[in-house]
Amino acid sequence: MAHKNYPIVVIGGSAAGLTAGITARRHYPDKEILLVRKEEQVLIPCGIPYIFGTVGSPQKNLIPDAVLEKNGIDLLVAEAVDIDREAKVLQTTGGDVGYERLIIAVGSRPAMPPIPGFDLDGVYTVVKEVEYLGDLQEQLETSKDVLVIGGGFIGIEFADEINKTGDKQVTVVEMLSHCLALAYDDEFCAEMEEVLESRGVNIRTASKVEKIAGNGKVEKVVLADGEEIKADLVLVGIGAVADVDLAKKAGLRIGLTGGIAVDRTMQTSDEHIYACGDCAEKVSFFGGRPSPLKLASIATLEARIAGANLFGIRRENVGTVGVWSTAVGDHALATAGLTERMAKERGYDVIAVAIQGPNRHPGGMPGAVDTKVKLVFERHSGVILGGQVSGGPSAGEISNIISACVQNRMTAEDIAMFQTGTHPALTASPIAYHMVNAAEMAIKQMQECGG
């Protein structure tokens, strides 16, 4: 059968696929690239919760296709059906395409807990499709009691956005003892719960959903302790699972957490096929064990590795540090690397220090917000393992400073000697710069312990 051949074919048009295509274009300027995706329009994944309050509609949260054209990447809107690895042909609902190198970047699907009632009308997950989310938005317009299952960042961002409309009761039900407990130490989680509650969102932590009940349409949610919460719309945001249907069908190896197995170069078990993003297996920067994290920023990093390595290895993945942030109103939380709890659970002997104070100087400057930075160090080496920030919008970039420190395996001593720039209207004072003082306090603790 005659079909078009491309040196480079990318499957998936979101953060990973698009970035893989752009990166391939940068490194292989003369090779033809085809991007195959099933969606007519691609949503900005991290922006999805904000569709329902701040941004207004799925149409205002799209990745523009102009970037494909600008990078000379052909587009085929079709579903990838199978891969003939022998012949190096991708079979799609829009026809066959030959490839020399293939990148699988098909992402993830919402996780579905095995709880009765998920098939009722009015139960939604976070499907990254314009039409599905448009339908959810329409349903929300007439909803009164919204229940969000899962208090991770997707759950709380959705809850707050939906609550913003002001005419609904919004409740978040979280199984763990705190919202965001998988990413932050308790004191940061508690802060965010307070912010959510002060804005009118109801929070039920340490609560397990037993079933979703209703007659055709959802009417209530029943918790494990017997409590019933009225609900005419339920949103499930408990995480995502790698989409490996195509990879499995093609006989590619699958990893320990269920993603497509890749080595540090992002090559799959087939040397002509790469994978990146939510569909690819990940390992942690810390110790190299499997990591379940799925974030758009991890996806783009992996895509920059895969896209550059197609015809000659030049980049390796050192493992996922885990850097990300969330915001509710003006309150932001951001994290990079291990929390104190995670580090201890993994067996590290740690020193953790938190420094609190305004992010402006003097504290009377406009925009001043009480800001907390907590850094976690390995006790004997002094190497930073991670840090968390709460405060104003700059928290997001502060966690990126921490990420730079972690990736360079800087010690508390290095960070105490870190040369920062400071300004009254933009940052904490040079005397009270959080990260530097946290490092100094950690050094003091190490000395006191004879370390």
> Looking only at residues 377 through 416 of this chain, which bind a copy of itself when binding is defined by CB under 8 A?
393-401, 403-405, 407-408, 410, 413, 416
- Find the binding residues for a copy of itself in span 321-350 (CB under 8 A): 321, 323-327, 332, 334-336
Please enumerate in sequence order all residues whose Cβ is within 8 A of that of 126, keeping only pairs 6 or more positions apart, or say none: 48, 110, 154, 158, 235, 236, 237, 240
Q: At its nearest, how many Å lie between a copy of itself and the CB of residue 436?
A: 8
Choice from 149, 212, 234, 296 touching a copy of itself (CB under 8 A): 296
Angstrom distance (rounded) from CA 375 to CA 156: 24
- The residues, any chain, with a CB within 8 Å of residue 334's CB and separated by 6 or more, are 323, 324, 325, 326, 388, 389, 390, 395, 396, 398, 399
Quick check: 429 binds a copy of itself (CB under 8 A)? yes
Cis status of the peptide bond prior to 362, with omega within 30 of 0? yes
Interacting positions 305-324 with a copy of itself (CB under 8 A): 305, 315, 318, 320-321, 323-324
Active site residue 46: yes
Strand pairing category for 89-92 and 80-84: antiparallel
Q: Contact, 104 vs 247, CB < 8 A?
A: yes
Q: Does 301 bind a copy of itself (CB under 8 A)?
A: yes
Please give the span between the terminal C-alpha atoms of the chain, in angstroms, as a whole number: 70
Query: Residue 3: which region, alpha, beta or left (left: phi > 0; alpha: psi -120 to 50)?
Result: beta
Could you tell me the smallest distance in angstroms from the CB atom of residue 273 to a copy of itself? Answer: 22
Taking the complex as a whole, the smallest distance from the CB of residue 29 to a copy of itself amounts, in Å, to 8
d(CA 404, CA 371): 20
- How many Å apart are CA 335 and CA 357, to the nearest integer? 18
Q: Which is nearer to a copy of itself, 24 or 170 (CB)?
A: 24
- CB of 121: closest distance to a copy of itself in angstroms? 29
Residues contacting a copy of itself: total by CB under 8 A: 86
Q: What are phi and psi of 103, to 5 degrees?
A: -115, 125
- Least separation in angstroms between residue 269's CB and a copy of itself is 24
Site for a copy of itself in 354-373 (CB under 8 A): 361-362, 364-367
Instruction: Give the residue, chosen from 192, 201, 231, 298, that forms a contact with a copy of itself under the rule CB under 8 A.
Output: 298
Question: 19, 268, 339, 390: which one contacts a copy of itself (CB under 8 A)?
Answer: 19
Region 47-106 residues binding a copy of itself, contact defined as CB under 8 A: 47, 50, 54-56, 60-63, 67
Whats the size of the chain, residue-wise? 451
- For a copy of itself, which is the closer residue by CB, 301 or 310? 301
- Window 183 to 242, contacts with a copy of itself (CB under 8 A): none
Q: What's the closest the beta carbon of residue 116 comes to a copy of itself, in angstroms? A: 34
Give the pair of three-digit tokens for residue 22. 């752009």
Residues noted as catalytic: 46
